[in-house]
């Protein structure tokens, strides 16, 4: 293979590998994903990791999803032997140098008032809003109903 062809192939592979990574200010967002929903579902969860590469804290405070009435930031945790979910009206704090994982059973974003099903294999566009870094447009990969995170969902 000629050196130019090798370089072009390497660039294509690299861009595909990082196609689900986003940046706004000092915030890196890695591999946003969600699960497909059955017909009639009105909510779904969104998952990703957020890394603050800056020197001051920031906070995920909101966002939106195409096809959803609103997006809320939630936390699931065990309380007295019972798993409970609650909205976080103040969002999620991301300290300098910290990575926060939004994953099933923990922090996540909730897509509320879905206008239709989320379909496996059909990426869906959304926006995240950070207190200091501002807005960033992202795209969620849509996995199967009941999917669990794959190793590449933890970032690169």
Tens-digit pLDDT profile for residues 105-124: 999 999 999 999 999 999 99
- CA–CA separation, 74 vs 92, rounded Å? 9
Q: What is the pLDDT of residue 149?
A: 66
Its pTM stands at 0.82
In the predicted structure, residue 153 carries a pLDDT above the cut 70: no
79-118 per-residue burial string, b: 16 or more CB within 10 A, e: under 16: eeeeeeeeeeeebbebeeeeebbbbeeebbbbbeebeebb
DSSP string, 47-94: EEEEEE-SSS-EEEEEEEETTEEEEEEEEEEEETTEEEEEE-TT-EEE
Mean pLDDT of 122-134: 98
Enter the CATH code of domain 22-154. 2.60.40.1890
Mean pLDDT of 27-42: 96
- Domain boundaries of the chain, sorted by first residue: 22-154
Q: From the CB of residue 71, how many other CB atoms can be counted at a distance below 10 Å?
A: 20
Tens-digit pLDDT profile for residues 38-97: 999 999 999 999 999 999 999 999 999 999 999 999 999 888 999 999 999 999 999 999
Q: What is the pLDDT of residue 151?
A: 54
In the predicted structure, residue 17 carries a pLDDT above the cut 50: no
More reliable by pLDDT, 8 or 49 = 49
In the predicted structure, residue 9 carries a pLDDT above the cut 60: no
Residue 136's closest CA among 58, 42, 37, 69? 58
């Amino acid at each position: 293979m000629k050196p130019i062809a090798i370089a072009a192939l390497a660039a294509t592979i690299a861009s595909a590998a990082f196609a689900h990574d986003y940046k706004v200010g000092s915030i890196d967002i890695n591999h946003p994903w969600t699960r497909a929903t059955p017909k009639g579902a009105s909510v779904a969860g969104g998952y990703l990791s957020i890394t603050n590469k800056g020197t001051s804290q920031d906070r995920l405070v909101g966002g939106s999803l195409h096809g959803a009435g609103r997006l809320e930031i939630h936390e699931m945790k065990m309380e007295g032997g019972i798993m409970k979910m609650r909205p976080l009206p103040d969002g999620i704090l991301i300290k300098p140098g910290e990575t926060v994982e939004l994953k099933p059973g923990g922090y996540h974003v909730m897509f509320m008032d879905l206008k239709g099903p989320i379909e496996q294999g059909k990426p869906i566009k959304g926006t995240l809003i950070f207190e200091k870094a501002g807005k960033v447009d992202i795209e969620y990969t849509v996995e199967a109903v009941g999917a669990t995170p794959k190793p590449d969902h933890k970032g690169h």
